[in-house]
Chains A and B, each alone.
Chain A
Amino acid sequence: MSAVIESHGHDDHHHGPAKGLTRWLYTTNHKDIGSLYLWFSFAMFLIGGAMAMVIRAELFQPGMQIVEPEFYNQMLTLHGLIMVFGAVMPAFVGLANWLVPMMVGAPDMALPRMNNLSFWILPFAFFILLSSLFMEGGAPNFGWTFYAPLSTTYAPPSVTFFIFAVHIMGASSIMGSINVIVTIMNMRAPGMTLMKMPLFVWSWLITAYLLIAVMPVLAGAVTMMLMDIHFGTSFFNAAGGGDPVLFQHIFWFFGHPEVYIMILPAFGIASHIIETFSRKQLFGYASMVWAMASIAILSFVVWAHHMFTVGLPLAAELFFMWATMLIAVPTGVKVFNWVTTMFKGSISYETPMLFAIAFVVLFTIGGFSGLMLAITPADFQYHDTYFVVAHFHYVLVPGSIFSIMAAVYYWIPKWTGNMYDERLGKLHFWLSFIGVNVTFFPQHWIGLAGMPRRVPDYALQFADWNMISSVGAFLFGASQILFMYIVLKTVMGGKKATPQVWEGSRGLEWTVESPAPYHTFTTPPKVN
């Protein structure tokens, strides 16, 4: 204990970081907290990925071979929850912590102590969630969408721990987004007007507003579940006058903005990287900002497209179909802007650029399958099939995850002061690119042919493509070990990076040394 106090006593605010483990426990430095978020996210990515491997191993052949159906359902549920709330969201918060203050020329986040708190409650949330695997009745087994009454009347007892974990994750996200908004709105360097902000900052400002709007609704939904389970209320229990369909409305009112929370920061990242490696100014900056804002606003009026088959009236199905299709317009604007930025640019294909280009192409494929799903009458065929699985994995894996990997390769020289191994980075990219497509592209076909999602066993005619899909998944999973090796190797050493790192990079974060000093912009820079 005395050591703790001592190291705290030595913590001089004008010099480098404190020594030892307590540095990470007590840190209020945005760069430290950013790193903590990113490492945490990577750990969760590996755990959630291991669960995906269990799923794909079971689906390698028809019939039950490796796990019990009950355990399969738990893997499916935890894989979804961990990837959404443990891997993708914390990774973006980590990137925001590292980059937003440096990009706007602020010395740190606006609320550094809350920043520490919002990170350090996360490991507890996931410890609680994962510990449910060892409880009587097993872990939650109702899918990441936890539809009532599956998650209330028929849930395992561990559902209460799940609810508590979701509450903590929500609190962490809300604190994180308050921090981001206050930093961006009040701590920009003099001269940096809103329309001069880097696009990653814009994307995070909009994302943070979405989080503020919908995370409390998620908290409300799980609170109602808690009350139904333990306090005799009947929000979702038809026997007591409630309505299970109401759960789906509330859940997707949160859930649809949530999917944009997981992609908007990716839009910001892709814009920076494509601009840098095309050695051109980004085409259509203002339209990029407006497109993100319109996507965010539209995300609140499309939730029922997840529920076309619950028996919505025709007018509602038409409204939600057209509103959903409308989102393709601002998304299309963004894709055209990226392509136009690359047009006639002097492009070089370093690893971040490869991931960014793959992001644009594969995310667009995921967007197109989304448009197919938006067609109400067609959706009755696609609903709850592997086509849906293929769709959302295309927008999340080569969408969000590729953008996070691109961001790591792009900014890691700034974080560590060392260049990553370009040869290994490219190898990682190609293995991931091939793995992801081999895994998820065939799922479109088996979905259209009628294979339902969330099943541990399937009819024989789906056997071949499932086996290929599993092989792709093993390849993708294994190649992430290579990613970890590359990152560790870069942290340990490597070719020294210049402050600008990339020939075409621009923005305030590239004006400080590499690695970025522990404290940057203690006196605000002047932006013209």
Chain B
Amino acid sequence: MNEGSKKTIKTLCFAVLGMFTFSFALVPLYNVFCEVTGLNGKIELRATSNKNIEIDNGRDISIQFVSHNNEEMPWAFKPSEDNIQVKTGKYHTATFYVKNTTNKRMVAQAIPSVAPSNAAAHLKKLECFCFEKQELAPGEEALLPVRLIFDDELPSSINSVVLSYTIFDVTDYNDIEFAQHDSEHHANHEMEPSI
């Protein structure tokens, strides 16, 4: 076999390895891409660090809250109010009611999603129950708060936003680190569910 062939083979083997690596690199790339652009309605699972985004003359936005249970998740989970009116640049707090309807201790994780997806980048949360896993004893219930603000750069075409939470049973995944928060925020937003 001549030198040219050997070189071609080597290049091609590298290309194969490179593309295999690339397929795994797509996972973080996809998450970063979705987070940066807010596509897919993905929003950051961490508290906003910028607290100086409050303004006085914001415009009216209607938020609809939606709750889902993933697969066979047996908990009761629903927003306290289905619909609230907020102003951009003002903090608002909403709550979700949750109850462990089973007779065993369970851990849950809520995952948010925003529609329309281009609103996601402008929705900031100071605190959210979705930053943490929620552990409830059998029959225990709780009101889970989310404190949120729309920054003033929310596109003017958007007057109403849907904020949806899906609650997952993560009892079996309990030891796996879930939300991507720094330890600093972890300390600040530790909150025990209480009624």
Contacts and interface: CB of A to CB of B under 8 A. Distances in A.
Interface of A: 110-111, 153, 174, 178, 181-182, 185-187, 212-217, 219-221, 224, 232, 234-235, 238-241, 243, 245-246, 249-250, 253, 311-313, 316
Given A186-B2, A219-B23, A238 B168 contact: yes
A5 to B, nearest CB: 27
In order of increasing CB-CB distance, the 9 nearest A-B pairs are A220-B23, A216-B19, A216-B20, A239-B168, A217-B23, A186-B5, A186-B4, A178-B12, A182-B8
A246 B13 contact: no
Contacts of B18: 216
B27 A235 contact: yes
B8 A253 contact: no
Q: For the complex, would chain B's binding face be called helix, strand, loop or mixed by DSSP majority?
A: helix
A252 to B, nearest CB: 12
B5 A220 contact: no
B19 A213 contact: yes
B187 interface: no
A241 B13 contact: no
Given A181-B8, A185-B8, A249-B30, A219 B39 contact: no
B27 A246 contact: yes
Given A238-B70, A239-B173, A249-B30, A213 B117 contact: no
Contacts of A224: 23-24, 27
Given A181-B8, A240-B173, A246-B27, A217 B2 contact: no
Interface string B36-76: 01011100000000000000000000000000001100000
21 contacts: A111-B9, A174-B16, A181-B8, A182-B8, A185-B4, A186-B4, A187-B5, A212-B19, A213-B15, A216-B17, A216-B19, A220-B24, A220-B26, A232-B176, A239-B71, A239-B169, A240-B173, A241-B111, A243-B30, A249-B30, A313-B117
A291 to B, nearest CB: 24
A435 B17 CA distance: 43
B166 interface: yes
B176 A240 contact: yes
A313 B1 CA distance: 51
Contacts of A216: 16-20, 22-23
A212 B17 CA distance: 10
Interface of B: 1-2, 4-5, 8-9, 12-13, 15-20, 22-24, 26-27, 30-31, 37, 39-41, 70-71, 109, 111, 117-118, 166, 168-170, 173, 176, 178
B38 to A, nearest CB: 9
Given A220-B22, A238-B70, 8 more contacts: A178-B9, A178-B16, A182-B8, A216-B16, A216-B22, A216-B23, A234-B176, A243-B30
B113 to A, nearest CB: 9
Contacts of B13: 178
Contacts of A245: 40
B132 to A, nearest CB: 14
B178 A253 contact: no
Q: For the complex, would chain A's binding face be called helix, strand, loop or mixed by DSSP majority?
A: helix
B23 A241 contact: no
A391 B4 CA distance: 43
A30 to B, nearest CB: 15
A339 B137 CA distance: 74
Contacts of A243: 30-31, 40
A241 B70 CA distance: 12
A240 B174 CA distance: 10
Contacts of B40: 243, 245, 311
A213 B1 CA distance: 25
A426 B31 CA distance: 55
Nearest to B34: A243
A253 B26 contact: yes
Contact of B39 (A153, A238, A246, A316): A316
Nearest to B41: A311
B5 A212 contact: no
A145 to B, nearest CB: 16
A250 B29 CA distance: 11
A238 B12 contact: no
Nearest to A239: B168
B62 to A, nearest CB: 21
Contacts of A238: 70, 111, 166, 168
A182 B19 CA distance: 19
Nearest to A213: B19
A221 B170 contact: no
A178 B6 CA distance: 11
A246 B9 CA distance: 32
A324 B11 CA distance: 30
A412 to B, nearest CB: 31
A250 B20 CA distance: 11
B30 A246 contact: yes
A253 B176 CA distance: 29
B8 A240 contact: no
Contacts of A234: 173, 176
Which of B5, B9, B16, B37 is packed against the most chain A CB atoms within 10 Å?
A: B16
B173 to A, nearest CB: 5
A212 B14 CA distance: 10
